[in-house]
Amino acid sequence: MNINQKDYLAHLEQIRWERKPKCPYCESTNSRKLKNEPRYQCNDCFTSYSVTVGTLFHKTHVDLEKWFVAIHLVLNSLGGISVRQLAKKIGVNKNTASYMIARIRNAMTEEKELLRRLVEMDESLN
């Protein structure tokens, strides 16, 4: 199965919102999908947002596919994975890999439920 960025966004929406977008700023579910980008416009606070806002993926330019692989590798590598190993495996530079590992480790305490559901979803895709 060939999964693209759009598919990963749809899976993330299912995990976070069960396909009912919720504004991360005012928590309203009264929103509309923007036409030409994977974002929503809140009809209550008039802010636009994506499913990644408020998650470890927020404000990164790394594809979700690479994030999901990195999460799997960080959480399942015996003895951990080095920055250089991760960089090589997912095709990013070592600074990006270091940044991703730090965010994943932070999410292990700050976003436990999201990570747990991502890992479950990742296993169901394989």
Question: Do the domain assignments include residue 55?
Answer: no
Q: Which residues contact 33 (CB under 8 A, 6 or more apart)?
A: 21, 39, 40
pLDDT value at residue 4: 81
Total domains, the chain: 2
Assess whether pLDDT exceeds 50 at residue 7.
Answer: yes
34 shares its domain with 80: no
pLDDT band at 77; cut points 50, 70, 90: confident
Residue 99 — φ and ψ, nearest 5°?
-60, -45
pLDDT band at 121; cut points 50, 70, 90: low
pLDDT band at 1; cut points 50, 70, 90: very low
pTM of the model: 0.85
Read off the tokens for 76: 């399942």
pLDDT, tens digit, 9 for 90 and up, residues 27-54: 999 999 999 999 999 999 999 999 999 9
Residue 26 — φ and ψ, nearest 5°?
-120, -5
Ramachandran category for residue 90: left, alpha or beta (phi over 0 → left; psi -120 to 50 → alpha): alpha
Q: What is the mean pLDDT of residues 52-78?
A: 92
31 shares its domain with 71: no
Q: Which residues contact 58 (CB under 8 A, 6 or more apart)?
A: 52
104 shares its domain with 77: yes
Question: Do the domain assignments include residue 103?
Answer: yes
Range of the domain at 24: 5-49
45 shares its domain with 68: no
Question: Do the domain assignments include residue 28?
Answer: yes
Question: Do the domain assignments include residue 79?
Answer: yes
Question: Do the domain assignments include residue 93?
Answer: yes
73 shares its domain with 117: yes
pLDDT value at residue 124: 56
In the chain the beta strands, taken as DSSP E runs, fall at: 31-33, 40-42, 48-49
121 shares its domain with 74: yes
